[in-house]
Amino acid sequence: MYHNKETKKNRAQTNIRNHQKKFKCPICSGAMSLKNESNLVCNKNHSFDLSRKGYLNLLASGSNAKYEKELFEARKQVCSFGFFDPLIQDLGERISGYSKGNLAKNGISVLDAGCGEGSHLRSLAELLEHEQCVNSTLFGVDIAKEGIKLATTGDTDIVWAVADLAKLPFQQDSFDVILNILSPANYHEFERILADDGILIKVIPGKSYLSELRSLMFEEKDYSSDRVADYFSNKFELISSQSIEYKIQLEEDILPRLLKMTPLTWSLEPEMHKEISLIELPSITVDLTILTGAKR
């Protein structure tokens, strides 16, 4: 276990140095390397900080991300309750399947683009660690600094960075697998940084996703992500589309956090959250679609 921040930072330095060739300067697109232990610097001397907590800030300008810390904390708690465990299990199998099918690569690199507070990637890291013959390097990026700050709390070798999905600070063909989980995509950038034989895995809500909550709030119960799926197959060659659906029994301390984390309820006044209790919402459906695609 790593208890002090300095040690955590040292570990991040090693991980970043081992993979610094993947980075490109968010300003001039030049190659980058770690200098003075605390800065990732390009040939033209554009410099980006490695924080004491061990994450890189690779934003070319400040972020106006509207996500707040409490939202990420709520999501982290919902994740550790096991809300997404079946999804993570499925993603882990996909990644190790890909790795085992590409043994010649001698290790694969995975990017979670839009990782938020990093729970999904941390769980995947644990899963993959137990898989023999899966040698993976994991990167998590999000534009929200509050998310990335929370992401660094674990004890892993994941490289974390605050970065803009519209201008990802990575060289072309840098990743074998890109994950994009319940988060907006930038297909142009994904295509650029994905290896030619790499895969993009995007997770979107299925039509029954949180349907019990929807029916409490709206008359219309179903949700359609058809347009998102169509857009995906316009941009990438669709290899597979698979649904995963399960029910989660809610508990008193998890329900308010679930209400907090889902955009569905953001329009509600906080007092209205209190009116939704376990009596109205004893369990909830998690219905997700996993789209896997390749470059055309």
For Zn ion (CB under 5 A), the number of binding residues is 7
* Least distance from Zn ion to the Cβ atom of residue 44, Å: 4
From 37-45, 57-65, 217-225, 252-260, give the range in contact with Zn ion by CB under 5 A.
Answer: 37-45
Among 12, 34, 40, 42, binds Zn ion (CB under 5 A): 42
Q: How far is the CB of 41 from Zn ion (least distance, A)?
A: 8
Which of these segments, 8-16, 42-50, 101-109, 193-201, binds Zn ion (CB under 5 A)?
Answer: 42-50
Which of these, 126, 177, 194, 153, lies nearest to 290 by C-alpha position? 177
28 near Zn ion (CB under 5 A): yes
Q: Applying CB under 5 A, which part among 18-26, 146-154, 208-216, 257-265 lies near Zn ion? A: 18-26
Asked if residue 35 binds Zn ion (CB under 5 A), the reply is no
**Given candidates 2, 19, 20, 27, which one binds Zn ion under the rule CB under 5 A?**
27
Residues 208-237 close enough to bind Zn ion by CB under 5 A: none
Rounded Cα gap, residues 157 and 154, in angstroms: 9
Which residues face 108 on adjacent strands? 136
* Binding test (CB under 5 A) with Zn ion, winner from 2, 19, 20, 30: 30
Site for Zn ion in 44-103 (CB under 5 A): 44, 46
Choice between 60 and 238, CB closer to Zn ion: 60
Name the residues that contact Zn ion, by CB under 5 A: 25, 27-28, 30, 42, 44, 46
